[in-house]
Structure 1
């Protein structure tokens, strides 16, 4: 018993140490990204000067002290790095609310948090630099704090899902250097959404379903794809084969009753998870379809005003951004497909690697296993890499495959790197590749195989770091892609 207690204490201490390191590296990575963005912005001329409209706007009643001037200079320098592309919409929504129809493509959680910070903690800053610049600083705080917390949450989620803290730690570090780098620090929703859905998946794994549904309900106020993650309730409560083992000896009626109860509970949780998205949709319809007469006359014939099943979000994406099935498949978009190719290749490799390990398990929703066992000792590097093949990752693979299909057929494909910043399996597979390369040091692979694994590791890490750093320079100077 003493030995067992000592082992448990040692494991807990190791876990806390790794979380601290993940947090430290996450903070460091945000500092590096913002500093690199500031330096590149100072050296390179902006591709687009739209930001000057905001920065030259009257600041209102702003103090003129030396400290205020210093704060103003800092806030303007920060804005020149982080307010690009979608960030303009979030800043405008936080400042003025939803004014234009197309702004309903951008969800209200981030602007609400920006307003909340601006009217409380940052109130002195707002009086020094003006409302808009203060809102931008608030957005940066929300994004960067969310990123650090998301990295720590991903570590916990990986440790509990893969049952291997070392691989979870590597995956969290891969998240820290994600190729969507600068988007995680800018006034965008990537970090905030990742935090909320990582928490939701962590709670689902712990069977804290109400907390998970609350998180996913909040995620629906952040991004539309939060709805997809509600499928984990169906998986955990209805589909998983191991939950029915205790009912094996029951009569048919009792089994049917249990199935009905579980299905109803899962559907209720899915409904709660959709509450945020539905609330935003109701707000939008009320404002656009039943608003001022002049506005209602123009918009009353919109499909979302005339049909129950049409959504404002879907209409706006198609109308203003030409989002739709295969709409992006044109010759002029070929460069964007090339930019997306590394993440698509990584995703295909990750899904194929998991499928090849036990195709029977994948094809039968985990009800039948192909008889393969991880089989390695728990303290070997090979076992760390093998944790990627655990059965608990199965629903994450289905999610990854679904989102890959959507990203490559329906969306602007170049956003796939930041779209996948909230998909844990991306980072688990990257960690698996790195861990396989580490296994060679323990003599677990032939020379030729270890050389191949080493190259694969360098390619993955190089892609994460290289794409992320180049993205910082391009984003901070308003160059595509976005």
Structure 2
């Protein structure tokens, strides 16, 4: 029986590898998953323990009740269900801008994008909530497509993997543990799209370099930096994507010290430095706007006199009572143990998949004659995708370590959605069907993880709509 099941699974994966219309199939899977999540959200009972949404939307909801059976009633019902957790603040800020200092704890880039979608005359909270849902669905779908293209750019010479793995990785992103957060007015879907797009630009820039298209490579390095800057303005952890530029800058400097000055290396370092510097705009830009508002006034705020005046860190420490546990190991309390358990599977996969790539790459980097980011002409055709993965492993592993030591750890289940390497790891396990020969125990096989991910997404959608933790 087990042999028959394995044969069927392998046949299914082989069929995936020769799909004639992978984008069409991914689109159908995406629509089906989103319909299921939306039905769960709409059918979820009550507002939970927090009535913030009902209080904010009550005037608009009363008007919608008088129009029962109309589109306005449906809009009101959807808005009432998806405006949960931080999305309440996003919607209110998008409606009338930043008014209170404590509101700067919520992503500047996302609220500005949300307010840009609708003209001022249409920015009711209900309309903004629906616009946020549409934006999240669109960005999530586009991120699925970008991940597919990124996967093909990296694994295009890996034989059968080059067909099956991109499809499976993109399908896994559809059922990401982020669940309802990728459908609601939240930052996760726009961030995933922007971050994946930045990775795609960076990796294709390296491919262009291998073909000798240096002007195109330089333009893509700058484009990648710009995309990461916008992603950072949406979510501050986008700053971690700058580690890709750090990786290449370190190898460039190593070449200068070991092989002497070279115009090609200097030009490449200049483009890497320029692209990486653009990412800082995503952090500095919003801080500058806040600095002008609060620090150039007649009475400035206390954070303005700090060496690095950051309104974000000030707000987190001064206003947010739940942030008292934010800081190095301050979240490590017995009461938070269930949240560590919830986040443990995601943390393990993020760290293991990243370390696994580097464990394979390091012996290759130790070989003499390395060139341009650790590649040699002799082995580049067989190992360049591994080196690309090693670059992408850096922000993923650092994110996981920060989540364990500094963050509210449970949020890793949703913010991990914008990092591709762990999708490739699970997809590779599904393709290879070598559970008996891997270091992972059978109960932690990719199929088990996939089932748990799907179940978690379904349960989480109900908890999210009912305003119940974990968030």
- For Structure 1 versus Structure 2, the TM-score category normalised by the shorter chain is 0.7 to 0.9
| Change in 2 beyond 3 A, CA 1:473/1:449 | same
**1:367 counterpart = 2:374:** yes
Distance 1:236 1:145, change over 3 A: same
Cα 1:449/1:427, change in 2 over 3 Å: closer
CA shift at 1:153, angstroms?
0.5
Could you tell me which of 46, 51, 54 is aligned with 1:52?
Answer: 54
In the alignment, structure 1 residue 31 sits paired with structure 2 residue 35: yes
Residue 80 of structure 2 is matched in structure 1 by 80
- Aligned counterparts of 1:395 and 1:151: Cα–Cα separation in 2: 20
- Partner SS, residue 221 of structure 1: helix
Query: Residue 115 and residue 450 in structure 1: after superposition, are their counterparts in 2 closer, same or farther (change >3 A)?
Result: closer
Q: Deviations over 1:334-373 (max 9, x none)?
A: 121111111112223323433444542478997389x999
Written as runs of structure 1 = structure 2, the 5 A alignment for 1:390-409 is 390-409=386-405
2:445 maps to 456
Map of 2:226 onto structure 1:
214
Q: CA deviation at 1:259?
A: 4.2
Q: Which residue of 2 aligns with 1:481?
A: 470
* Shift in CA distance, 452/119, structure 1 to aligned 2, threshold 3 Å: same
**Equivalent residue, structure 1, for 2:196:** 198
Partners of 1:100 and 1:59 in 2: CA distance:
25
Equivalent-residue separation in structure 1 for 2:381 and 2:440 (angstroms): 23
Give unmatched runs, 5+ long, in structure 1: 1-12, 376-386, 440-444
CA contact (8 A) 2:354 2:390 kept: no
Aligned twin of 2:102: 102
Q: Write the distance in 2 (CA, Å) between the matches of 1:53 and 1:140.
A: 20
Q: Is the 8 A contact 2:202 2:224 kept in 1?
A: yes
Q: Quote how far apart the aligned CAs of 1:454 are.
A: 8.7
Partner of 2:215: none
**CA 98–162 in structure 1, closer or farther in 2 if over 3 Å, else same:** same
2:350 equivalent in structure 1 = 347
Give the whole-Å Cα distance in 2 for the aligned partners of 1:16 and 1:160.
Answer: 18
Does residue 269 of the first structure (1) align with residue 265 of the second (2)? no
Q: Distance in 1 between matches of 2:47 and 2:108?
A: 32
State how 1:250-265 maps to structure 2 within 5 Å. 252=260, 254-255=261-262, 258-265=264-271
How much has 1:318 moved relative to structure 2?
3.2
Q: Verify: 1:159 aligned to 2:168, yes or no.
A: no
Give how far 1:20 is off: 2.4
Per-residue deviation at 1:236? 4.0
Distance 2:348 2:197 in 1: 27
Given the superposition, is the C-alpha separation of residues 174 and 59 from structure 1 closer, same or farther in structure 2, using an over 3 Å criterion? closer
**Counterpart for residue 284 of structure 1:** 290
> Is the aligned partner of 1:418 residue 2:414?
yes
Residue range with higher mean Cα deviation, 211-220 or 198-207: 211-220
Q: Which moved more, 1:353-362 or 1:106-115?
A: 353-362
453-462 vs 399-408, greater mean Cα deviation:
453-462
Q: CA deviation at 1:235?
A: 3.0
User: What is the Cα deviation at residue 69 of structure 1?
Assistant: 6.0
Q: Deviations over 1:130-175 (max 9, x none)?
A: 7111111111111110000001101111111232232111000000
Structure 1 residues 52-104: Cα deviation after superposition (integer angstroms, max 9, x where no partner): 111213579x79995x8622211221123211111011011111211222221
With structure 1 as the length reference, what TM-score do the two structures score?
A: 0.79
1:4-44 superposed Cα distances (whole Å, 9 cap, x missing partner): xxxxxxxxx97872122223322322221111111123xx5
Instruction: State the aligned residue count.
Output: 427
C-alpha separation in 1, matches of 2:271 and 2:438: 48
State the partner residue of 1:239.
251
How big is each residue's C-alpha offset from its partner over 1:109-139, in whole Å with a ceiling of 9 and x where there is no partner? 332232232229xx7xx4xxx7111111111
Consecutive unaligned residues in structure 2, runs of 5 or more: 1-16, 157-161, 206-219
Q: What's the CA shift for 1:188?
A: 0.5
3-state SS of paired residue (1:55): helix
Greater shift in the superposed pair: 165-174 or 225-234: 225-234
Superposition deviation, residue 176 in structure 1: 0.5
- For the pair 1:224 / 2:222, whether they are aligned, the reply is no
Distance 1:221 1:77 in 2: 30
The answer on whether the counterparts of 2:229 and 2:278 sit within 8 Å (CA) in structure 1 is yes
Partner residue in 2 for 1:9: none
After superposition, the C-alpha distances for 1:302-323 in whole angstroms (9 at most, x for unaligned) are: 2xx0124242222223332232
Tell me how far apart the structure 2 counterparts of residues 344 and 452 of structure 1 sit (CA, whole Å).
17
Q: Which residue of 2 aligns with 1:382?
A: none
Deviation at 1:411, TM superposition (A): 0.5
Residue 432 of structure 2: which of 436, 453, 466 is its match? 436
Aligned partners of 2:23, 2:314: CA distance in 1, in Å?
42
Give the SS at the match of 1:56: helix
Distance 1:449 1:404, change over 3 A: closer
Q: What is the aligned partner in structure 1 of residue 4 from structure 2?
A: none
Higher deviation after alignment, 24-33 or 388-397: 388-397
CA-based RMSD of the aligned residues comes to 3.5
Q: Does structure 1 residue 333 correspond to structure 2 residue 336?
A: yes
Residue 176 of structure 1: aligned partner = 174
Between stretches 209-218 and 413-422, larger displacement belongs to 209-218
